[in-house]
Every structure is written in structure tokens, then in C-alpha cells.
Structure 1
Amino acid sequence: MGNAHYGTRTFVRSDAFFADRITADGRDGWPVEAGRYRLVVSRACPWASRALVVRRLLGLEDALSLAVADPIQDDRSWRFTLDPGGRDPVLGIRYLSEAYDARAPDHPGGVSVPAIVDVPSGRLVTNDFQRITLDLATEWRSLHRAGAPELYPEPLREEIDDVMEGIYRDVNNGVYRAGFATEQSAYEEAYAALFRRLGQVSRRLADRRYLVGDHITEADVRLFTTLVRFDAVYHGHFKCNRSKLSEDPVLWAYARDLYQTPGFGDTVDFDHIKRHYYRVHSGINPTGIVPAGPDPSGWQSPHHREGLGGRPFGDTGTPPGPAPAGEGVAEPATATGMRSA
């Protein structure tokens, strides 16, 4: 996940230390090139999940390969223990930190996902979670699938940026500010800002299907990755418990609409999400017990948002195809039990 540090009273998320960009003209020294780079994610992480969704929506699976880290970290952070022999089969490394060290052995930051690694050199290119998806939508255009949606359309960028800024501060990062607060006042400030913003977003979405314009944009991707985790981890684990997502008719329907859209729900792994938060955050959950609920079957219930108009992929866009072999996510367990680790 994104790097962070803790002040005397509140959680502060650090900027990405490696902010090089992969661009069409290669101006940072990293040109867009099919097959050259590998995207490293954790399915537990909301910031990495943005990249997973965008990669699927744009059809970049063949151009940008995928490495999925174990949701449980150790003292060297993200590790590839889900792969045979505990090594990423393309990069040949056991820990993502090896790619960071290949880039800068004395780098001061932590090891975060999402990260893009240059396969030939094994060096980290970027861990700029705020920029990666925007560049995938704009700089990687020549490699998009036919029918890919415009996730960051130029005429709407100012509005998208404005909407995303508030959502990032109060919702995406706000749940962390509440969950990791070390003083009551800091927690209450974050809690109040979170639910104030969720109320504003709910009112905005009451009569429109998507946050900006009439089809899915980057703003929807960024809100979704927090909403899909809300009842499973943020409501209880991070004490964001004024109400559940499923108790807000508008936001719950909106989130289900996106979840049922190809490219969204098929990237979500509730098992990875819950095991990471409840087992890694030992300061919040010292027993390491992972809750069996909530029952995820409600995510497939009818949402009835089609009546608001709009088309998920725009007037000329089409849904992405099925996830590539080996990238699918198993069906989530019901409330009667979780999938085994």
C-alpha cells in the first residue's frame, strides 16, 4: 500500500518516492512499450486495486504483465509467496524490495504497491499510485483494446480532478486517518469528514449513474476501491461505524452497479482484503482473528441503476473480455465461512 508515517496525533500518507512516468514519448527515460514492464499489486490494497481495474478496463493485460503479492507481509514487506518457489516467475525475485533496491539501494521510503518494474533491468520505475492509472489511461493509449473507455477525458478533467481531490482526502485516505489515529480528537475529525463527504457523494449520485459525465471515469474507479472494502474492513476494523455502506441505498446501489461491471468485481478478492487488514495491522487487531463476514452475496443483487441513463463504457465503448488465464479471482465465500488461506 502507499507509504505512510505517523505524527503525534494523526496518520499522514507520504508522497511516492519514485515518481518517474512511463510516457508515449519516453521523456522520463521510460517509453511505453508492450511487454517491457510488470505491474506489481496486492489485491488487498485499494491503491493497487485502482491499477488492477484500469488495466482490465483498458485491455492492457497483454501489454503490461501482472504480479500479485501475498496479502500477508513480513518484515521485508511485499513477497511473492503465492508463486511456485516463492519467486515471481518473470522478475525472479522473492520480495518487491529487491526491485526497489535495484533502483536505489539507499532509498528512504518504504516498499509500496502498486509498483511498476522494468523487466529487463529488474529496476523499479514508479510507485506513484496517484499517477499510474492516469498515465495508463492517457500515455498508453496506443496499446488500449478496441472499445476501451475514456477514463480521463480531456473535457472533463477539471471536474474529475476536483471530485477526486475531495474523495481522496476524506474517503480514500480518510478511512486510514480514522483507523490509525492515535488520539480521540484526530479520529473524530477524520470520522466526521469521512461521513460528511460520503453524504455529499450520495446526494450527487442520487440522480446520476456516475460521478462525472455519463460513463465510468477515473473518479468512479477511485471511489469504488474504498467502497468495496467498507463493510468488510473499514466499518469495524477502522472504526468507521456510523453506518455501513449497505445502509446507504444510493451508495450501495452505485457500488453494486460498478462491482457487476466487467473489470471491477472480477478484480476483487475479499479473502485477500480481510486477511491483510486483520492480520497485518496487529496494533489495531492484536489477536489476528479474521472475521467470517459480511456475506458477500449481496454484491450480486440487482441495483436498478440503469434507469438513471448513461452507458458504462461510453457511447462507443464495450466491456472488457474475461480475465486472462491465471488472473481470475475465486468466488468469495459466504458468511458461513471463508476460503482457506
Structure 2
Amino acid sequence: MITGFSYRAAVSACSLCVAGLLVLTPAAAAAGHPAGEPAPPRPPAAMPGPSLLYRSGTQVRPHRGAPELPDVSALSWLIADASSGEVLAAHEAHRELPPASTLKTLFALTVLPTLPGGLQHTVSYDELADVGEGSSLVGVEEGHTYQVADLWRGVFLSSGNDAVHVLARLGGGWEATAARMQDKARSLGALDTHVVSPDGYDAPGQVSSAFDLAVFGRAGLRDPDFARYCGTAEASFPGDGSSYPIENTNRLLTGEDGVAPYPGLIGIKNGYTSNAGNTLVAAARRNGHTLVVSVLNPQADGGLTVYEEARALAEIRAPAGTLPGVSSFQL
């Protein structure tokens, strides 16, 4: 493994381990690492040990003069500098919770590199037969031929579970894709995640965490295709005879439903189910820094709260370009 989030607390070397860090493979280096250049070397493995990020409550060590953390109602959240990997603050970072469609970040990390975007595929009935009732859909139709790139836009913009099912079949099958996603999560050091349904549809035992989702989001930014899809606000999707417009459901990106768009937002992925509540992993560039924020299940009223709480967390660093003190861990 290599570290993605490490922390700067005075702990023994044995606690710098998979159990306590946001860890990435060399191919999923920090978003600030230039594409095409060698990734940093893999550090030696460490023995498992305790981590401050596993402690309950909010974990942060503010320096003198640091701004106060905003009032956030989410059951779990984390904010980090995506370039350096420094975790600025976190709350219940490793709490295992249903991720809803934010799990599609892991699906994309796993399947996207294996399928050429220009590949064309004619959808069969079997590929759509098991899409969960009440799923979000982009409108994939049996018998229609799509480019893989179209299907990925359906995944990232419309959170289309129908598109996920087709791509999973192309990637080796539903259960095989779930197993590959599980392996991918482990390879990234995301140990809180258990994959049952690759589209994020509620399933018994399916969980992730704010920590793991930040890992997936940060790793995704390394892939130019992932970054392009997750930051696309509007696109066209093929239909019968003509295409129709689709829009990204991430309101921080589009500014829909009265949510002000966040300046510099890169995107990534939002989600919702009645079991998971609202979930979001987002990234933004502000004042020379790239931030990644994950927010799981705000308890405050309103389905748009997840965006405002993510905005509030991102603003910890944004105004001055550097954070005057919140510094305790690293991805």
C-alpha cells in the first residue's frame, strides 16, 4: 500500500497503517500528481495499530487562530487536501454506513479502465431484468445500441442503475463485478467498504464510510476519464430516433433546486436512498488547493442539506488558500 491520508499526531510508527490512513495504490496518487509521471514509491508495510480517525466524535487539532468547524449534522464526514493527502478534519470517519450511489465511484474505478469508451453494445433484456425497483434510471432500452461512453455519462450524470447493470455485464457480470470492486477497495486500503450491489442500491450488509469514499474520490481524480465524466454538468443521451438532454444530479455542480453552484467544483458523485439518506463525495479547486469532501446522511431537515454541509466544510480552507491550523492526519 501507499499512504493517501496520513496523520501528524504523535503516535508510534506501528499506527501508521492501513487501519488508520486513507491509502491509495501508486496508480491512484494525489490529484496534484501530474498524469504520465511516475507515482511516488510504495512505502514499506506497517503493523496495524490504533488511529485517531477510528475514534468517535470529531477529530481535529486546530492550530492557534484556526477557524471553528461548521455545525454539521451528517452522521459521518471528512475533508482533506486531495493534493497533499492531509486530512483537515473528520467526524466518525470510519463509521460504516450505506453509501447509496456514491458507491458508483468504486464501480467506475473498477470497470472504467477496462472498457474502451468507443465500444458499441446492443443491450439485451437480461441486462436490465434485475434493475432494482425504484432505481434512478437514465433510460437505457433493450435492443438499442450504445457507446460505452454514453453509458458512463448515464452513470455519472443521471446515476442510472440501468447503465450500471449493462456496464457490469460488459465487465464480466454482476457478481464478478462486485467481487472485483471489493478487491479494488481493499487494494486502496478502503477497509470499511462491503460491496453487495455495484450500483449502490440498498442491500443487506452493503456499507462504506466517509473515509473510504474520500479514498475513491481522490483515486478517481487520477483518471482523466473519471474526472471528465464526474465533472460534466449536461450531456445528451441516445434515445429512439434522437437524443435527449440529461443533467448531473449533483446540485453543487449544476446549481439546480436553489443550491448555489460551488466555485471550482470538480464534481464527483452524490447519492440517495431511503436507507442511506443523502450522501455525497465532492472535490473542488479553490485558491491553489484541491479539496475532497465526503458527507454521509445529514440529520438536519431537507434533502439539499448534504450540499450545504459539504460547502461549509470546503470553505474551511477556501477563503485564505491555506488553512491556519486544522491539521492532524493525512490521506
**Which has more helix, going by share of residues?**
1
Q: TM-score, normalised by structure 1?
A: 0.31
Q: TM-score, normalised by structure 2?
A: 0.32
**Which has more strand, going by share of residues?**
2
